[in-house]
Amino acid sequence: MTKNTLLTLGIAAVIPFTVTLSVAQQDKPKKPIAEASGHSHFTKIPATVPEIWKEIRKQQGKLAAVVAEKDLGEAHDHAFAIRDLVLALPARIPTENKAKTETAAKEIVRIAAAIDKSGAAGAQKSTETNVKKLDAAVAALRLELKAE
C-alpha cells in the first residue's frame, strides 16, 4: 500500500470515533461551572432573621479560622456565604430598615470580592485586613438593625 492510502485509511478510521465521542458528550447533562470546578457558592438561607444572624456569626468564625490557618483558598467560600446571608436580610426585615440594609449589603459584597481577590493572590496580610473590614461592616449592620 502506498503512503497516501495508509493515511486515508487512518483518517477514515478516526473520523467515526471522533464523531461518536462528540455526540456522546452532547448527551451528557451539563453541570454548572461552579459545581464542575468543585466550588459551589450556594448558601442555604435560613428562614428567620435570627437564624440568618446565627449563620453569619458561624461563617465569620470559619472565615477567621481559615485565614488564621493561612488556607486562603477557602476564605472566599465563607466570605461569599456571609455576602449571600446579608443579601437575604432586606427581604426579611421591616420596610424602614431595608434601605440601610441594602447600602450595608453593597459594602459587604465589595469586601467579600476583595477577600476573594486577595485570597486568590495568596496575600495573607491583605486578606486579614479585608476580613477585619468585613467583620466591622457586619458589626455595624448588626448595630444599625439592633439585631440580637
Dihedral angle sign, alpha carbons of residues 67, 73, 85, 87: positive
Average pLDDT over all residues of the chain:
83
The distance from CA 125 to its chain's CA centroid, rounded to whole angstroms, is 21
Of the pLDDT bands very low, low, confident and very high (cuts 50, 70, 90), residue 146 is: confident
Q: Is the pLDDT of residue 110 over 80?
A: yes
Q: pTM of the entire structure?
A: 0.72
In this prediction, residue 15 carries a pLDDT of 65
> What mean pLDDT comes out for the span 89-95?
93
In this prediction, residue 67 carries a pLDDT of 97
What tens digit of pLDDT does each residue of 19-59 get? 554 444 444 444 333 333 344 567 899 999 999 999 999 99
**What cell numbers appear for 33 in the block?**
461551572
What tens digit of pLDDT does each residue of 54-79 get? 999 999 999 999 999 999 999 999 99
93 phi and psi, to 5 degrees? -115, 165
* Residue type present at position 98: K
In this prediction, residue 23 carries a pLDDT of 46
Higher pLDDT, 45 or 17: 45
Residue 112 CB partners (closer than 8 Å, separation 6+): 76, 79, 80, 82, 83, 134
